[in-house]
Amino acid sequence: RKSIKKLTTGSKNLDDLLGGGLETQSITEFFGEFGSGKTQIMLQLAVNSTLPEENGGFDSDVLIIDTENTFRPERIIQMSKYKGLDPDTVLKRIHVARAYNSHHQILLAEKAADLSKEFDIKLLLVDSLTSHFRSEYMGRGSLAERQQLLNRHMHDLLKFGTINNAVIAVTNQVSARPDIFFGDPMTPIGGNIVGHTATFRIYLRKSKGGKRIARLIDSPYLPEGETVIQLSEDGIMD
């Protein structure tokens, strides 16, 4: 087993909450309502992964499985400049795969192993983990199937993280409707399956302006707690 490494989020506060950053060989889930900052954090992690190790990165390539078409090269350019990185170099190291449906998403995660033969991928992002599953498996009868597929998908992701000593980070919306399929309001989609497989779960909620409150939930060995991060033009910071 390779030794676990940590990736900076760009926020000292959030890194501290996580015991130093996002861990390799684990899945970290960011969940929260629309606009809570999930995608901005994903983009920042992608940039940070290209940083040298002494600056909290892995000097690595990145794979993003994008299910909502929210990858923005302009944001990568802004965040890269702020970190003193060459934006073109960073963009070349971020491999974006658009997932058209949940089946395609599962396939892309399986194919990630092939990409890692050619590129040194130490960060795999799925934004969003659950959106396709949520829209495709609506009825009561399909809930079990959805959970089974989601479970398999998460184990594929975790396997990639273990084999490649990579960080896996995923986003998840909270449910807007309190019903049997989606659970209570402010409950992450996918419920127990996602919860049991994700090692670290961070609940994001909006505060004033660009401020966001990040709360660590159900961590196996870190204390629960919350902190404030700042979303800005230059990216995620304190």
165 binds, among ligand GTP, Mg ion, none (CB under 5 to 8 A by kind): none
CA angle 191, 153, 189 (to 5 degrees): 20
DSSP conformation class of 204? E
Instruction: Round to whole Å and give the CA distance between 70 and 87.
Output: 18
Q: How far is the CB of 70 from Mg ion (least distance, A)?
A: 5
In the complex with Mg ion, the residue whose CB is nearer, 22 or 58, is: 22
H or E element that contains 40: helix 38-49
**Total residues contacting Mg ion (rule CB under 5 A)?**
3
Q: Which residues bind ligand GTP (CB under 6 A)?
A: 32, 34-40, 75, 173, 231-233
Please report where in the chains the tokens 């990216």 appear, as a residue: 235
> Looking only at residues 41 through 80 of this chain, which bind Mg ion when binding is defined by CB under 5 A?
70
Closest CA to 36 of 135, 172, 238, 225: 172
Q: What angle, rounded to 10 degrees, do the helices at 73-82 and 38-49 form?
A: 60
> Whats the size of the chain, residue-wise?
238
Nearest residue to Mg ion, scored by beta-carbon proximity:
39
Q: How far is the CB of 114 from ligand GTP (least distance, A)?
A: 28
Q: Could you say which of 9, 26, 39, 197 contacts Mg ion (CB under 5 A)?
A: 39
233 binds, among Mg ion, ligand GTP, none (CB under 5 to 8 A by kind): ligand GTP
In the complex with ligand GTP, the residue whose CB is nearer, 200 or 203, is: 203
